Structure 1
Amino acid sequence: MTTAAPDDSKNCIVAVTLDEESIGRSGPDIEHERAIAIYDLVEKNLFAPEGASEGPFTLHLGITGNRLMFDIRREDGTPVVAHLLSLSPFRRIVKDYFMICDSYYQAIRTATPDKIEAIDMGRRGIHDEGSRTLQERLAGKVRIDFETARRLFTLISVLHWKG
């Protein structure tokens, strides 16, 4: 006897907000990354909090002290669960990610296509590492797929950015 796969069509995020108190000043490149990540995340994602019935959900991300806050609610605003994750596992990854992003943004203005591609491959590699770390940290709390983790990692990075 086989068990049916869960129907995840409603296990998704339909709105994302970032805690304005957590966000530092940022330039147009960072604001652009943030807007794209939110748009892409809402367009297509898998987000299933453990123990909660199906969604859809809204997500408010913020930083509280040294913790990353995931405030998960129903579409009508009813609280589902809030998770606080240590920021420590993300600090080095985010620092490396921003260093390579700075190199990338400088390179796209003056470098050869080969150099831009090499930097972009490194950038994607660090981004993937952050995404896998996020999936590991959310294991047993919220089920997400890799693409959702990638978009969430971008937003976590924006929260770290202090201009």
Structure 2
Amino acid sequence: MADPRIIDITLDDKTILWRSADVEQERRIAIFDLLEENRFAPVRTHPDGYAGPYKVFLRVADGRLVIEIRRADDSPLEAVILGLASLKRAIRDYFAICESYYQAIRQATPAQIETVDMARRAIHNDAAELLRGRLEGKIDVDFDTARRLFTLICVLHIRS
């Protein structure tokens, strides 16, 4: 019986050099929300007919996003590799707006915080749609899953 969802997700901590408390909180929330509800269905048909649930390991290697997909019993299923060039600008824009948001939380008025938060959500939504497009034909994900995956991809790109 098909169960197209992620039941466990891990980030390659070797690629993450540093995380602020704010980023760590975003990571925890994204993982929690993702595991609570998601749609994640690799498009490729596997000989044994396996159709979920999945364990996912995200890492960056040679400038590419590697999504390692495993069965629930942890046996390998497939790896999807995406070039990150098309996501670089979205990642950069999201980092910039998040930094503005964290600063606003600490020193801005509620109206200013709301304005920055609206901009942050818009950039995040656009990035999620971009990611869904990049995954098309490889992995079927819903919008909320794409949003949470994009957050985790950003965490993998933090350097200092």
- Do they fold alike, i.e. is TM over 0.5? yes
TM-score (norm 2): 0.94
Partner of 1:24, secondary structure, is coil
1:45 aligns with 2:38: yes
Match for 1:107: what amino acid? A
Q: Distance in 2 between matches of 1:36 and 1:154?
A: 10
Q: How many angstroms does 1:24 deviate by?
A: 2.0
Gap runs ≥5 in structure 1: 1-6
**Stretches of 4+ aligned residues off by more than 2 angstroms:** none
1:35 aligns with 2:21: no
Residue in structure 2 matched with residue 3 of structure 1 by the alignment? none
TM-score (norm 1): 0.92
Gap runs ≥5 in structure 2: none
Written as runs of structure 1 = structure 2, the 5 A alignment for 1:1-163 is 10-50=3-43, 51-52=45-46, 53-163=50-160
Q: Distance in 1 between matches of 2:13 and 2:19?
A: 12
CA RMSD of aligned residues (A): 1.2
User: After superposition, what is the alpha-carbon deviation per residue over 1:22-77, rounded to whole angstroms, capped at 9, x for unaligned?
Assistant: 11201100011001101110110000011243210000000001100000000111
Q: Distance in 1 between matches of 2:118 and 2:8?
A: 30
Percentage identity across paired residues of the two chains = 48
Q: How many angstroms does 1:110 deviate by?
A: 1.4
How many residue pairs get aligned? The number is 156
